[in-house]
Amino acid sequence: MIYLTPTHWKDYRLIDSGNFEKLEQFGSVVTRRPEPQAVWDKSLPEAEWQKRSTIDFVARSSNSGDWIKHKNIPDAWNLKYDYLNLTCNLKFTSFKHVGIFPEQAVNWDYISEICSANKGLKVLNLFGYTGIASVAARAAGAEVTHLDSVKQVVSWTKQNMESSGQDNIRWIVEDARKFVAKEVKRGNLYNGIIMDPPAFGRGANGEDWKLERDLNALLKDVEKILDKNRYFFILNTYSLGFSAFILENLVNEIFKNHKAPKEFGELYLEDDFKKKLPLGVIARFTNLK
């Protein structure tokens, strides 16, 4: 098993975690948000959390809530990932996200390294969200197709692309399963496929997605469009109770004709007090150097 955490962030920091919350710094903005994996105690006292936080997220339901500002901060701002010269446009959403998952910088580095050393790779980013992975691949010379089922999120990705000085990413607003099935019929192949599916979701036309129910079938189609000669693959999931062993069983069976060594493990962030916050399980492999 591999355990991966970003090492190149300058403008992001996990300050503290515990009691089902996390305190994070995104540039000049410090957020306080729920975090179901942080089952331990906080290291800083409550008074210090209140002093440091510039904005808190207060949940109204399991998937939505409100942000409460404590200081005069912008509703939207930029965060730099200097290591790859990427710009992330951030803003506060009603579902507690701000536009990036900082632990994913591990994947951005991996993608950039492969694409930089192998120019012209054809890359597909499924469930692409705000697309920093897509921008990283494009900046490294890849031909990128970015897919998400939400049109507004794809527009957000375009802003990230432009702010990072990139262009010519292909945009698709569609249900991932339907698009991949069409690509199988068309005989289209990709050298790289990136997947970060949610635990639950809706397709562009309201299609219902459940990770545990639907991932197996989708991966079988994804395998058919992943090139057999030059390839890389990344699958990242964040769902409580979803083990890296689940990904190991799925990937080893479905991608058995892709002979490259396969890695499985966890992504995490470490706070200022050395507590490790798990933030998803990962499977990845490549035959590219």
∠ Cα 155 115 27 (to 5°): 50
Reference 106, options 124, 84, 76, 122; nearest CA is: 84
List the alpha helices (DSSP H) in 164-210. 176-186
Q: Are residues 125 and 265 in the same domain?
A: yes
Residues 32-71 as b or e (16 or more Cβ within 10 Å = b): bbebeebeeebbbeeeebeeebbbbbeeeeeeebebeeee
Q: Are residues 58 and 133 in the same domain?
A: no
Query: Are 57 and 65 in contact, with CB atoms under 8 Å apart?
Result: yes
Report whether pLDDT(63) > 80. no
CATH number, residue 25: 2.60.40.1180
Percent of the chain at pLDDT exceeding 70: 100
Structure confidence at residue 271 (pLDDT): 98
Is residue 91 domain-resident? no
Whole-prediction pTM value? 0.95
Total number of domains in the chain = 2
The amino acid at 205: N
For the segment 108-118, the average pLDDT, to the nearest whole number, is 98
Structure confidence at residue 240 (pLDDT): 79
Structure confidence at residue 205 (pLDDT): 77
Backbone angles phi, psi at 8, to 5 degrees: -115, 5
Q: Residues 173-231: pLDDT tens digits?
A: 999 999 999 999 999 999 999 999 988 887 777 788 899 999 999 999 999 999 999 99
Supply the Cα-derived Rg of the chain in whole angstroms: 19
d(CA 44, CA 66): 24
CATH number, residue 189: 3.40.50.150
Domain around 121: 101-286
Structure confidence at residue 91 (pLDDT): 96
Q: Are residues 261 and 194 in the same domain?
A: yes
Query: Are 270 and 277 in contact, with CB atoms under 8 Å apart?
Result: yes
Q: Residues 76-112: pLDDT tens digits?
A: 999 999 999 999 999 999 889 999 999 999 999 999 9
Is residue 252 domain-resident? yes
Q: Are residues 15 and 155 in the same domain?
A: no
